[in-house]
Structure 1
Amino acid sequence: MSAVRAFEAAARHLSFTRAAQELGMTQAAVSYQIRLLEDRTGTPLFVRLPREVRLTAAGRQLAPKVTEALDLLGTAFSEIADKTEHHLHISVLPTVVSSWLGSRLASFQTAHPNISIRVHMSTELIDFKRDAIDLVVRSGNGDWSGNEVFPLFPIEYMPVCTPTFLEKHQLKDPADVLTVRRFGNASWWRRWMTEAGVEPPASNGTELIFDVQAMDVATTLLDHGIAMVVSTFVIEELRSGKLVRPFNHVVRDGRAYWLVYPQSHRRQNKIQVFREWIIAEAATSNAQLAAVAGELPSVRSQAEIGASALIRPE
């Protein structure tokens, strides 16, 4: 291909020097590549004169077809690159989509109407080399080696319920949650109870688990029970007063939600603009949560973390 490109440029300019300038090569390198092509075809392609070069009959026959072929290849690769650059495939945890990201994606598309987004909801690990996925949002400790990893917001969870449910069941002590129906992750409930000084029950009989927090919240809003939720995912409900925190204790387990994509994707424009957008959205949510929770200094630091530079796992 190097020899073909050198021939096409030299034939178009009728100059080895100008071809070399266009291709970023030396004149000697262009001459060498064309000589290789002449050896391959078994016939001279240029007549080399003291101050100029001219195409031979074979060169004149070959030149337009080579130009057409290179133009066709360039168009084909441009079409593929354009299609790839304007389609963003993301894999996100179902709870993150339903409780946080889904309602915000419209603002991204408004800002970047040339990028279409396909959201794949999954909790499974993604193999970037095998799966047609550009980036993922996952929970964990951020130790995904070989990838670009950005924190969004911490996993902090707590019980919430409606004001009417709180009044009806007189939830005054953490142990009172044992007497009502509980929604949400069972292991989160056990940890919260343990940290709050409550002996977790042996049976989960009063729990109802949907695996998607939006369903837990929806059922809680109907006064059917109390839900264990990630604080960030109920900011609007807390701000409006539809949900309240019956107890002050919040579990901070040290993990977070992260934006992850392969290092090989980092130069793609669609990746860069989505990264900047989602980190800014996460920082806004962290600041809003700070205002609601009345813990501005500590949560603001999390917002700063969410907007920080790349964090690489040790």
Structure 2
Amino acid sequence: MKLPPIAAIRAFEAAARHQSFTRAAEELGMTQAAVSYQIKLLEERIGVPLFVREPRQVTLTAAGRKLSPKVTEALDLLGSAFVEVVEKPDLHLIISVLPTVASTWLVPRLSSFQAANPEIRIKVHTSNDLVDFAREDIDIMIRGSDNVLPEHEVFALFPMEYAPVCTADFRERHSIVNPADLLKIRRFGAQSWWASWLAGAGVQTGDDNRMDLVVGVQTIDVALTLQGQGVAMVMPIFFADEMKSGRLIRPFQYVGRDDRSYSLVYPKSRHRSRKIRLFRDWVIAEAEATRSAFAAIPNQ
């Protein structure tokens, strides 16, 4: 089959992504009528409808849903080919990272990547929100593996393993001997992690499942804990230095786990990008080294 006109393909891709002819027209600098016309031409060319047209919205047909991700990937790949031809030697790599991962782990290690790849300039964007690669100027993100889509390449870096941490002095002052004692003191961190950890440790919480302070950033929770204000539920691997020095301790050895991981994510359509491949290989190796080093810490 002869390839349909590129204008029709671009109109379909944008309309499918936005689920709207109007928004597709705004993105492409066309009128809504022009977008509708291009999609009609495409449908006539391939002989199947791609959208169900309703009075105030359009939705993809089964054929449209099947075609959409492949067309997006193809256009991304085409765009990457032109970018690689015109890219200057001085490349920019924009990474969206969870705040805790950025401050405790990634940023302190970036100097080694930049030393090995001086032509690549890195910009780190910290956020908990999921990245829309089609709309945002982001190359790579590090997020939980439950926040990815079928069109993403995903590489697990750290399994989600969490446990309460505090200072040794705080444990002594509050006589924390059994896991149930944690219900009597200030607790910081994700409520879902606390609920899961306490249940796994055999603690019956009843209705006492409240949190004293929910910030959503593990580094802040640990800062409060180091001040002796309570106990934080965190991923200890991100605080290996504090654990190794004894500034933080785990009062109990039980570790909560689930089937998610903190993962490196980028669109499959960008797998040929040299800067992404270089960073991917480096960050996977760094994560493996970090896991090995953490496992060697006594009583962590």
1:195 aligns with 2:166: no
Paired position in structure 2 for 1:82: 88
1:147, distance to aligned residue in structure 2 (A): 2.1
1:171: Cα distance to partner? 0.8
2:119 is the counterpart of 1:119: no
Q: Pick closer, same or farther for the CA change 1:203–1:258 going to 2, 3 Å.
A: same
Q: Provide TM-score, normalisation by structure 2.
A: 0.68
Q: Does the 8 A contact of 1:149 with 1:258 survive in 2?
A: yes
Q: Partners in 1 of 2:233 and 2:222 — Cα distance? A: 9
Tell me what 2:141 maps to.
136
- Post-superposition offset of 1:179: 1.1
* CA–CA distance in structure 2, aligned partners of residues 147 and 251 of structure 1: 27
Match of 1:214 in 2: 219
Q: Which residue of 2 aligns with 1:269?
A: 274
Aligned CA-pair RMSD:
2.2
- Alignment-derived partner of residue 181 in structure 1: 186
**Is structure 2 residue 234 aligned with structure 1 residue 229?**
yes
With over 3 angstroms needed to count, the CA separation of the structure-2 counterparts of 1:147 and 1:78, relative to structure 1, is closer
Q: Secondary structure at the match of 1:243?
A: coil
The higher radius of gyration belongs to: 1
Q: CA offset at residue 79 of structure 1?
A: 8.2
Contact 2:94 2:123 in 1 (8 A): yes
Q: Secondary structure at the match of 1:264?
A: helix
1:157 aligns with 2:162: yes
* Counterparts of residues 76-115 of structure 1 (less than 5 Å): 80-82=86-88, 86-115=91-120
Deviations 1:285-305 (A, max 9, x none): 11122112669xxxxxxxxxx
Distance 1:163 1:103, change over 3 A: same
Matched to 1:274, the amino acid is: F
Q: How does 1:17-32 map to 2 (within 5 A)?
A: none
Aligned to 2:262: 257
Cα deviation for residue 263 of structure 1 reads 1.8
Query: CA shift at 1:173, angstroms?
Result: 0.3
Within 1, Cα distance between the matches of 2:186 and 2:298? 25
Give the deviation of 1:143 after TM superposition.
5.5
For 1:183, give the aligned amino acid: F
Give, in whole Å, the separation in 2 of the partners of 1:105 and 1:132: 20
User: Per-residue displacement from partner, 1:232-272 (whole Å, max 9, x unpaired)?
Assistant: 11111111111111011100111101111112221222111
Other-structure match for 2:246: 241
Q: Does the Cα contact within 8 Å between 2:94 and 2:140 map onto a contact in 1?
A: yes
Would you say how many aligned residue pairs link Structure 1 and Structure 2? 219
Residues 130 and 147 in structure 2, CA contact (< 8 A), matched pair in contact too: no
**TM-score, length-scaled by structure 1:** 0.65
Query: What is the CA–CA distance in structure 2 between the aligned matches of 1:218 and 1:77, rounded to whole Å?
Result: 43
Task: List gaps (5 residues or longer) in structure 1.
Answer: 1-75, 296-314
Q: Which amino acid aligns with 2:104?
A: S
Partners of 1:152 and 1:280 lie apart in 2 by 9
Aligned residue for 1:131, secondary structure, equals coil
Give the secondary-structure state (helix, strand or coil) at the position aligned to 2:88. helix
Conserved? CA contact 2:145–2:156, under 8 Å: no
SS at match of 2:172: helix
